[in-house]
Structure 1
């Protein structure tokens, strides 16, 4: 899917809203990301400092990167009952804080519209990318497919919120998005392990 040109038409004059302009630019770049292109491959050295910074800034300095080797391990990590609720809560608190900060800079209607367009763009692009990868690998685990697509779309939403709120590129959500830009799937933080496929 190409960028949705109607996005620009629906928004207010974005010249008056610099952070909204950043979200529009971000939305245009989503199709250019090599989504899931490196899953199943060994993690590049560049992945580790990004993952470390994400864990540290999110409040989990004792966690470590757990490299996911194959589809079976990815499915297990995505469905692991030891899912770290503290990790989820930390991300949720960040999401709420970013939303509040963004609403200081624009109306709720404009923010909702911008995030809706980001989710729509991301959903189509990411679904196509992941289905291509799973087709090539002969994977037909629909729960795994939904988990991967959902987490990547959520990462786009979170990264767009970072921009809407005028935050810096060292924000945990920006760092997590960079892991997707590297072609990987940061699955979850379970126990003390940050599973990346």
Structure 2
């Protein structure tokens, strides 16, 4: 579904529930995706990671920052669908979707989320390809994995914007880790693994 920029701008202006989406999209378009992969984290990044794990319901999960792609790939392969952390995120996504449907009809929500994807996916994929080249990662799976995670985080953060979620909502915090140039992989055991 192609969406005309004028139509979407008009929709954003007319709907009170969408006022936060335009500023979010501007932010998402200007994220420097994946620029600090494998680097030592700054204090703020560690704080965001701890806040995310706690908000998701895993306060004991300490942030673990991975140094290279092999470690990150192993971690990504070990994050299980249906794990407690995955289930917690799915429940949050479902709850935010229900909240969004209290503000918007289903067709409008679908149109807005499609627009968010169209507005950000190309930049995310380009940044992932550049990161792969810079880090000398010759593995197509890297680009797919980090792009997919960033696209998902953008979708989740857009839902958070539509529903006026608090700044300490897990999806807001997860997106902030991407803003810091990271790839938050997931909670495994007592670790929140981040590349």
Assess same fold via TM > 0.5. Answer: yes
Q: Given the alignment, which residue of 61, 64, 79 partners 1:63?
A: 61
How far did 1:158 drift? 0.2
Cross-structure match for 1:74:
72
Q: Which runs of 5+ in 2 are unaligned?
A: none
* Aligned residue in 2 for 1:138: 136
Deviation at 1:82, TM superposition (A): 5.8
Q: What are the superposed Cα offsets for residues 55-113 of structure 1, whole Å, 9 maximum, x if unpaired?
A: 11111111111110111111111112667711110000000100111111111111111
Call closer, same or farther: CA 1:81–1:109 in 2, change over 3 Å.
closer
What's the counterpart of residue 114 of structure 2?
Answer: 116
1:184 aligned to which of 164, 182, 188:
182
Q: Which residue of 2 aligns with 1:161?
A: 159
Partner of 2:26: 28
* Matches of 1:78 and 1:5, distance apart in 2: 33
Gaps of 5+ in 1: none
TM-score (norm 1): 0.91
Pairwise CA distance, 1:162: 0.3
Is it true that 1:92 corresponds to 2:90 in the alignment? yes
Give the 4+ runs in structure 1 shifted more than 6 A: none
Secondary structure of the structure 2 residue equivalent to 1:104: helix
CA distance in 2, matches of 1:193, 1:93: 21
- The total of aligned residue pairs comes to 194
After superposition, residues 42-61 of structure 1 pair within 5 angstroms as 42-61=40-59
